A and B are shown apart, each in its own frame.
Chain A
Amino acid sequence: MIRKEAMELILKKIKSEPIISANGFISRDLFELKEKNSNFYMIGSMGLSSSIGLGVALKNPKKRIYVFDGDGNILMNFGSLVTIGSIKPKNLIHIVFDNSRHASTGGQPTNSKFIQIEEIAQKCNYSSIFRVKNKQEIIKVLTKIKTLSGPIMILIKISHGGKIGNRIEIPPIEIKERFMKNLEEI
């Protein structure tokens, strides 16, 4: 299962809820699969999707907030797990697409294959953690989390590869403005 296949399954369950997607191929895949105003596509500032997600979650407690993260991204900002786990926003769903690669820079290895990122999240006080590796497990977990409160981490082991998604064509200021407008409306 490649990232795009996993993401497609998840997107079937997300309607108007905000998604903050990490820079690189994660944002590109999201842009290609389900472009909408409630997506905040990150272009730069690698590592910070979960931090932005935390800020959005704290100020929008009635809505579930999704973070689409990568292994390279979260390894760069592990401190974020500490801060999220200390504040424990109930509405934060942290999804990590883990291919043990820096896919966007040419597929160089990360060290995520030697460690269990979701177990570190658990030690940092995440309410629930899941590690899934196929489509059936993703569907099962997505049903299960409906009644659970966050912060929740779903780590999805994916294979490296797949067609590279198109670059995001929307100017960054517009991405922000429509995302903000969407938050106001919900």
Chain B
Amino acid sequence: MKKSFQIELFDFFFKSGIENYVGVPDSTLKHFISRALEKKKIIITTREEEAIGIASGMSMSGSNSVVFMQNAGFANSISTITSLIELYQIPVIFLIGWRGYLKNDAPEHRKIGKIQPDLLKIIELPSKVLSEKNWKKQCIWAMKKIENHQPCALVIKREFYD
């Protein structure tokens, strides 16, 4: 997703009332994260689970969060997502960068990249993949989810090599 779309994406969430952006950086999401840094609304954590914990505390205080991470970190966090976010039904929007979407992405990302959609399905976390065309519609869907106190995930494909 190009820089201009990622900035629009952040601004959409910000205007929609998402107050906190907590997570571990990912190159696929770097423009989104830069925007959050610019707006001073960000907490960069040491691990993804930690970010999920902080966002949970904020959500329970009535202040909603986007938790951003790479899908490697998402895979690390599965137990936390099932035993905290899903068990207690804490509304959090996950924004996940999908490494390994391209078959020839770096070797360390291939396996998780291949099973990324299945992982989301298996843990029953409702999710949508964002594109430059559909992102707004999917974000409105995500906002509705958290308004109904449900967690969800938005995924951005890594469509370039570096």
A contacts, CB < 8 Å to B: 20, 40, 42-45, 47-60, 77, 79-80, 82-83, 87, 172-173, 175-176, 179-180, 183-184
Contacts and interface: CB of A to CB of B under 8 A. Distances in A.
Contacts of A183: 60-62
Contacts of B90: 176
A44 B79 contact: yes
B60 A51 contact: no
Grouping DSSP codes into helix (H, G, I), strand (E, B) and loop, the B interface class, with mixed when no group exceeds half, is helix
A55 B53 contact: yes
Contacts of A179: 60
A145 to B, nearest CB: 21
B73 to A, nearest CB: 13
B140 to A, nearest CB: 25
B49 A59 contact: no
Given A20-B57, A43-B83, A83-B50, 12 more contacts: A44-B79, A45-B49, A49-B53, A51-B49, A51-B57, A52-B56, A56-B57, A59-B58, A77-B50, A77-B53, A79-B45, A183-B61
A123 to B, nearest CB: 15
A176 B149 CA distance: 11
Grouping DSSP codes into helix (H, G, I), strand (E, B) and loop, the A interface class, with mixed when no group exceeds half, is helix
A72 B34 CA distance: 35
Nearest to B58: A55
Contacts of A51: 45, 49-54, 56-57
B46 A172 contact: no
Contacts of A49: 53
Contacts of A172: 87-89
B80 A48 contact: yes
A17 B1 CA distance: 44
21 contacts: A43-B83, A44-B79, A45-B79, A48-B49, A51-B53, A52-B60, A55-B53, A55-B58, A56-B60, A56-B61, A57-B57, A59-B57, A60-B61, A77-B53, A79-B50, A80-B53, A83-B43, A83-B46, A172-B88, A173-B88, A183-B62
A172 B85 CA distance: 10
Contacts of A52: 53-54, 56-57, 60
Interface in B43-102: 43, 45-47, 49-63, 79-80, 82-84, 87-90
Given A45-B49, A47-B49, A82-B46, A55 B87 contact: no
